[in-house]
Chain A
């Protein structure tokens, strides 16, 4: 059972305080977008063996949504960070690179 530190209130919350909210860093496509763009936004999800970026909510806590970077295989957590950003912070990317040289995930590497 995971523990993730909520970057907003600092609590090292165990999974029962959290709610998983799917993949992080999705770009919304609305009216005017092509069918392909919209399909990608709505349905296409990563399912990596290894580095992954997720949205979580500290549901039984401060209520804030945040992002987490972790490995789906070892469950190592590289870091949690604000949901109000378009890409993971450099220090977290560096931490991942140290463990998984040459990693990539969607547009990030």
Chain B
């Protein structure tokens, strides 16, 4: 059993006991525990079940590489699945549950899959779900859905907050082990601005556990000294609980800071995502120990040797009373020695190397531990917990020599440097034959915007595994990074290191070497996704020779741990099966993040009220107070209509139109774009921008204009007012303001840069209100002021500055409804007051606000096009019968050349017409006019489509605008439009101007 030891636990505060709940049972631990160490201390070795076979899973590792101990963490608004127990700090009141089992961890129905192992080999799903076709939807998918997914989906809204933080430094050091500290120290002393981050709450990494002496004192003392000096440097920032999540182009680093995970009741953000720009990056990311592939290596109690040692030394926890150590290198002997020194039994050390270990082996023997060279584990015995091991020779096929009872196995297959961050942005690897691992190739570092390397590795992450090599490499890395960032490397004294010499490791990819199928099918590579040696061999047999293909076929390394433990063993197995050298097989791609980061951290502040910007006019609050129904128009919210008590939206729109046409209505038109164009060449410029002539417009007058892209397609429209000889004010659509301003600047900056024109986007300077209807003039006149708004004083398509009431106003006599209409601009800060004044003055005429839907219907009744309805990026003005607005005199304007292309002048292009339904109903949005026959796909042929369709209260029937083949020549013809229910609606082709064709109403 696993339990808490009387001694040890250097990271614990045994004075502070913490309570937590696992699967509904209450446990206790100490401050400083991880969830994993606390569970182990309570003899809870089994922490979950695997994904595919639902096999019992115990904790394997002690850090970020853990594949098994995944928890459903927290409750309600703090619930989050797939949290690694090994990286979760224990806090008082923590609640968690194990995953992937039903009904309980101990008894799981899904474990039936385990007995079907033989029938679920790699590629099972691909092979099975091919046929018959119907079975996918009705049989396979429901089953897969039932069993898919690891952990539970959060049901409640996340109650925590998250944020981003932009930081700019010279050198980022990732990893706060002894190498990271040494590198940061060197770079800091060199004068660079340094940010050092460590993913755990502790500095110094494994060094203190693994031992060694620096400057004649334990390495822990050296770590404390470095830390104190770093702390004292103003140019150095050190942060714990912050992981280097990813390295990206041009020196961009994501730092994932878990601010409050360990103190969930604190104020402030839970996670902070640091968006860092740095000149240089030092990755001091250490190494990860590899498991060994032997039968039963996934039974709870089989753990990495380093993890067993960590739990004993750091947390004072024994993983078992009797631990068999199995290894191919010297480092695992440290575990045996640590356990023995803690008073625990180590029945045997199985060293796969025939020649055995070095000084550490001698030390183990001296402690009385039995050491067997050239021996291996044939098989681990046990179900939900290790009960013993069968021993064999590593060289053979696994004939059992002896069985030994034990309750834990500590395994070590050697160490692989953590190369993820090096590799994220293109750093290349080299295969190290001596250590049998991939390590960064310093000659092929990722390059930045200047074409030079910007990532340097330090310590174990570079390859050296012993303390002397680590510190020398780290100091060198710190100096190199500082120099590359533009600093002169400081001359600091190199520490003297006493490290234990180690005998060479020997690669062991299968244990025993000649293991047959029966053992291979029980030898796990990927614990979380249940990928075994046999699966990888099968993939190779079936032709998946590329490591990327094998990964996807077998799901090796595709679990939440992304194969941190399984990758190298997996590709060595593949290489073995392909008879290829390991470096020729290569690795799969390392992609950020290093370990999963929360969605909240990615979203940052962008949630709830500030999920996205919402633009408000100065009259917006009125609309809110009136409980207007809003529709999004770009980032604005515009009132669609203003429903009164008991009214449907359709009722409201109808009322708004009728009232406006009968008396007077108000529209908040503030969102329309307003761009000032000024300069001696302004007229010439606008002549290029608009299809029609703007340079001939007289000051004081307005003209409607169309803008096209160079493709000839309609892009925007609006009314241009000439302010004076040099100055124009161009109105754009609501959604077009920024785009058209950018478009103008593009041409002025990049094509006609010698033209003297300045633009300014003054859209938000003004609140603009359309006062519309036969009584519009009366309302304005009632407000008083000095502006003559009579028919003569301000004629149709004129504008004027002056006072309306007490407001400085600019009134435009323009109409988008066909009624007598004034669009009046006042300074935005007076917009609401002006609106209120109009409402008050208009009360006697029963004035009422109208929304965008009434605006749309009224413009459609009048036959005015709307950008985005009649246009969709493929429509030229000629399609819409707007030839009157296309100058024939101008030699050039944007889009003119394109409109001369053969396809644009094709007489068969669909053209705009009005449509009036025969039965008075409304044609559905997006309907097509159907024609005789069917196309090659068996669909009905079409001869046109609807672009806008409404119920017209004025005409009391359904009206529409549409593009119809030869439409303008087919007036009076009745054509059919399709409906989703398969029936059609008949409509008569007519003039698109349904209302007041002669313009008598707007020109009064």
Contacts and interface: CB of A to CB of B under 8 A. Distances in A.
Q: Do A and B come from one complex?
A: yes
Interface of A: 1-3, 14, 21, 28-33, 35, 38, 41-42, 55, 57, 59, 63-65, 71, 74-77, 83-84, 99
Contacts of A41: 710
Interface string B437-455: 0000000000111110000
Interface of B: 248-252, 277, 447-451, 710-711, 742, 745-746, 749-751, 753, 891-892, 896-898, 900-901
Contact of A31 (B447, B711, B749, B896): B896
A14 B750 CA distance: 22
A30 B449 contact: no
A93 B451 CA distance: 15
A38 B277 contact: no
A84 B249 CA distance: 28
Given A75-B449, A76-B449, A77-B449, A64 B249 contact: no
B451 A57 contact: no
A82 B711 CA distance: 26
A1 B749 contact: no
A43 B896 CA distance: 16
Please provide the 6 A-B residue pairs with the shortest distance between their CB atoms, ordered closest to farther.
A76-B451, A84-B753, A77-B449, A83-B750, A30-B892, A65-B749
B449 A21 contact: no
Contacts of B248: 1
25 contacts: A1-B248, A3-B252, A3-B277, A3-B449, A21-B746, A28-B710, A28-B751, A30-B896, A31-B891, A31-B896, A33-B897, A38-B901, A42-B710, A59-B742, A64-B749, A65-B749, A71-B451, A75-B449, A76-B448, A77-B449, A77-B450, A83-B749, A83-B750, A84-B749, A99-B451
Given A2-B449, A3-B250, A30-B896, A35 B901 contact: yes
Given A3-B250, A33-B897, A38-B901, 9 more contacts: A1-B252, A30-B892, A38-B898, A41-B710, A65-B745, A75-B250, A77-B449, A83-B750, A99-B451
B451 A74 contact: yes
A2 to B, nearest CB: 6
Nearest to B709: A42
A60 to B, nearest CB: 11
A14 B276 CA distance: 11
Contact of B897 (A31, A59, A71): A31
A42 B898 contact: yes
Nearest to B890: A31
Contacts of A63: 745
A75 B249 contact: yes
A75 B896 CA distance: 37
B447 A74 contact: yes
Contacts of A35: 901
B888 to A, nearest CB: 12
A18 to B, nearest CB: 12
B168 to A, nearest CB: 9
A2 B897 contact: no
Contact of B892 (A31, A57, A64, A77): A31
A88 B198 CA distance: 45
A38 B277 CA distance: 43
Contacts of A33: 897
A32 B900 CA distance: 10
B447 A84 contact: no
Given A1-B249, A14-B277, A75-B449, A31 B900 contact: yes
A76 B447 contact: yes
Contact of B750 (A1, A29, A38, A84): A84
A99 B436 CA distance: 35
Contacts of B891: 31
A54 B251 CA distance: 21
Contact of A76 (B251, B450, B711, B898): B450
Nearest to B254: A1
A21 to B, nearest CB: 7
Nearest to B250: A3
A1 B750 CA distance: 25
Contacts of A21: 746
Contacts of B711: 42
A35 B750 CA distance: 23
A38 B252 contact: no
